[in-house]
A and B are shown apart, each in its own frame.
Chain A
Amino acid sequence: MDTDRNRLPYWLSSPAALAMLAFVALPLVLTLGLSLYPFVPGTGVGESLTSANYADIARDDYFHVIFARTFGMALLVTALCCLVGVPEAYVLSRLSARWRAVSMVVVLGPLLISVVVRTLGWALLLGNEGVVNKALMAAGLVREPVRMMFTFSGVVVALVHVLVPFMVLAVWASLQKLDAATEQAAASLGAGLPTVLARIVFPQVIPGVLSGGLIVFALAASAFATPAIIGGRRLKVVPTTIYDEFLGNLNWPLGAALATALLVIVLAVSLGANRLVERRWKQVFQ
């Protein structure tokens, strides 16, 4: 690795850096600026600086409910993804090479399929006339269709489906660093599988669980299509509210303030948790 003082690396990276500054950093700074101007119905954006948009968000119960729902939903989705994704990653590591290859495609493949398609599938499954309700009624478990579309739980289930591959991927990556000899040693000393999993495997994959959890949380809190389609108009979350303010009410300053608030919370949680993980589990990362 050269430690050079020449300009080559700067020349090599400047086109990409300029593109990022122009089309990511600058627009974000301008959005932050936009959120500090008043909304004037009819003409759009007012002249004088104000913090009124943030005051609106901080005072209005309408927004409190939306923020609470968004982050509550993100937390629940993250917890469920841990609950399901961690065991699944472990099972993948125990499968024969051939079954593992097939299972990998099934688990990770959906990440490559448009979220609109996957959400459409859930809309077909969860509707009153949907597959799940038909099956439940045919089995005689329920008499009336269970309402799942346009409900909080419906959105949570669909979001778990959309995001759980990220959790499996992260845990799988840390499982691969794990030495199978530690498990065999525990087993040879008489530990049963539950003990091995709880005391040997799980503690070693915690960093993977945490980094997967961070990705899932950030993506769940900023998910748009799934809450919009499965949740509908009434079950609003922050991203769909931003959409409505921007494209429906044309209140760009308020939309910008909501976007800034979402960005700040998501970044604070991600960076804060990242720092915590690095300090606490430093030795695991070497």
Chain B
Amino acid sequence: MSAERGARAPWPLLAFHAAFMVFMLAPLIVVVLVSFTDKGYIALPFDGASWRWYRAILAASDFIDAFLRSVGLAFAAATLATLLAVPAGMAIAWHRFVGREALLGLLLSPLMVPHVVLGIALLRFLTQIGGASTLWGLTAAHTVIVLPYVLRLVVAAATGFDRSVAQAAQSLGASAWTVFRRIELPLIVPGVAGGWLIAFINSFDELTMSIFVASAATQTLPVKMYNHIAHTIDPLLASVSSVLIVLTLVLMMVLDRFYGLDRVLSGRA
């Protein structure tokens, strides 16, 4: 962080900032407001607030199933991606070897490919190997698209620390495994944990690729919501969305508290 930039920003900048905040918040606030209607349709402003549409979620077992499936999928994909990305990230951060740049490019490539393209490519591929509309196919697809997020944070964390600590342990007779377990891993754990959480959120939110890879029986929550919107927009969507907004807000606080949102989102934690 550079030194403080003088006194408070002048008022035209602050007015712009306020307008920008309203722009960013407006769609989210509208969703939350609409979710409290007691009417059977979307109306704003409305009279008579109620929990009607939150009670309706409990009766909408297809939404609950999709939510639980999304949580399980995100958990599995983030964990698998972390197991793959941690060793790869350590290799990239701590070693210079032939093909290192190419490897980094390969592992980050899902960030460059439009998800709609990955979606049709994986639909076709999984159909051919018998993985279409299976949960393992969906898990494999999610694992590769969230891996770059974990990798970036692992590489950033591993690059940041002094390797002489590990070398000291080695010179005192510690085995490679002991050095990893007792020294290297604890030092990169914050990066790994932040990476896992970002991977979890990205998998949970992913829509475009999942639309192709998920079938009616393996719909994730965003796919379920998208299909519902394409059919009709009702207050149930707003209440489900509001629950998601609140849950995300909690995760956001955790990330901001421990890492700073700007660092973790740009892969510099």
Chain A contacts to B: CB under 8 angstroms = 1-5, 8-13, 15-17, 19-21, 23-28, 30-31, 34, 84, 87-88, 90-96, 101, 103-125, 129-131, 134, 158, 161, 164-165, 169-170, 172-173, 176-181, 183-184, 187, 193, 218, 221-222, 224-225, 228-229, 239, 242-243, 246-247, 252, 255-256, 259-260, 262-263, 266-267, 270
Contact = CB atoms under 8 A, between A and B. Distances in A.
The number of chain B residues touching the other chain, given as a range, is 35 or more
B96 A161 contact: no
B261 A108 contact: yes
B117 A262 contact: yes
Interface string B99-117: 0100100110110111111
Given A5-B97, A20-B107, 5 more contacts: A23-B140, A105-B256, A123-B229, A229-B230, A239-B114
B39 to A, nearest CB: 12
Interface of B: 1-6, 8-10, 13-14, 16-17, 20-21, 23-28, 30-31, 34, 42-45, 83-85, 87-88, 90-92, 94-97, 100, 103, 106-107, 109-110, 112-118, 120-125, 128, 140-141, 143-144, 147, 151, 163, 201, 204-205, 207-208, 211-212, 221-222, 225-226, 229-230, 233, 237-238, 241, 244-245, 248-249, 251-253, 255-256, 260-262, 265-266, 268
A1 B163 contact: yes
A263 B147 contact: no
Most buried by B among A5, A91, A218: A91
Nearest to A118: B27
A218 B211 contact: no
29 contacts: A2-B94, A13-B92, A16-B84, A20-B144, A23-B140, A31-B117, A31-B120, A87-B13, A105-B253, A112-B205, A115-B205, A115-B207, A116-B225, A121-B26, A124-B42, A125-B27, A125-B30, A130-B44, A131-B26, A169-B266, A172-B262, A173-B266, A180-B2, A222-B115, A224-B116, A224-B211, A225-B208, A259-B116, A263-B113
Most buried by B among A96, A120, A158: A120
